[in-house]
Amino acid sequence: MENFTFLSPTKIIFGRGVEDQVGEETKVYSKKVLLHYGGGTIKRIGLYDRVVKSLRDAGVEFIELGGVQPNPRLSLVKQGIELCRKHNIDFILAVGGGSVIDSAKAIAVGVPYEGDVWDFYSGKAVPEKALPVGVVLTIPAAGSEASKSSVITNEDGWYKRGLNVEIIRPKFAIMNPEITFTLPPYQTACGAADIMAHVMERYFTHQKDVDFTDRLCEATLKTIIKNVPIALEEPENYEARAEIMWASTIAHNDLLSTGRIGDWASHAIEHELSGIYDVPHGAGLAVVFPAWMKYVYKEDVDRFVQFATRVWDVEMDFANPERTALEGIHRLTQFFKKIGLPVTLEELGIPDDRLEEMADKCTNNGTKQIGNFRKLGREDVLNILKMARK
């Protein structure tokens, strides 16, 4: 087990009706905030009105910035930065899913910075200051409500890049599973793939003696496998929605990372898909992850056997462990199909004409490698994309 420092300071406020507490939680930090959200969904389901009432009852003034898109855009982040500076705003309240939260985090680091906020995402600079961020979560998927991560898409070249620093972890996350009752089935399924991918990126490691976190990873995966089909069949099943929402947070608040080194190649490859083609991140991961698995499993067949037997209840073939490993990958793929997700680039609607461009972008024109389970260069990434075609 590797040495580690674990820090997860986000206050989680979980359960029915907890969004009514947002005003009291927010005023601890500020009396003037940026209310950041996406499209019209929060207004259609009445969440916007409840949040606004809670803020006003607590005496919190707010300026609004809506319009966050999936795969959040740098241009809107820059609008938010200017808005905060103009109105002397010192707190960002994100009401939405991972895209809204990631956008809020980008605004938070951009406001006190004199340069271009993209410097942080391109690796040219590391933020030293950030405005505090609070969250009212609407979609369990990205885990951004308690993570140190933010991913933004730059329309100039359609580069999708991430920032990982402790200072952007939200101060609080308000999480009511009832808010997710109206999520469309496809969005629920995409969220499930995102959650599972966050766990699997950590699970596939060469680190030995990490059985405790192995078991935590496996339990989180099995929770999603059990409850997502229930939520799709019974959209207002509170218990299933609650299990999914809490698993989403645990999958990405770094508890499952403790003592181990994760991979993250699949995320890097998928960022090129959604950066160029604007596909849902979870759907892209459902295509990339099985292809990555088939490409790298021989690096450590035993770990893939463990994944197959513990997560998918595959019966061990002692005469042919490799067959057991491949059956685990097959069952993951079948699960994605079962919940309505694409598992090939063709199903995702992505043509073959830009695979080389994606491989170039992912590896900085072949000058860097990605991943830790197996180091992948440009040709490896291209091969995985080709494997994912059909």
- Residue 92: which of 82, 81, 104 has the closest Cα? 104
H or E, element range at 367? none
Which pLDDT tens digit goes with each residue over 119-173?
999 999 999 999 999 999 999 999 999 999 999 999 999 999 999 999 999 999 9
Report the CATH fold assignment for 11-178: Rossmann fold (3.40.50)
- Residue 253: which of 176, 373, 164, 372 has the closest Cα? 164
Query: Domain spans of the chain?
Result: 11-178, 183-387
Question: Mean pLDDT across the stretch 90-116?
Answer: 98
The residues, ordered by sequence, that sit 6+ positions from 10 with a Cβ below 8 Å of its Cβ are 145, 146, 169, 170, 171, 172, 173, 253
Residue 268 has pLDDT above 90, yes or no: yes
Instruction: Record the pTM.
Output: 0.96
Which pLDDT tens digit goes with each residue over 272-294?
999 999 999 999 999 999 999 99
For 183-387, CATH number out of 3.40.47.10, 1.10.10.10, 1.20.1090.10, 3.40.50.150 equals 1.20.1090.10
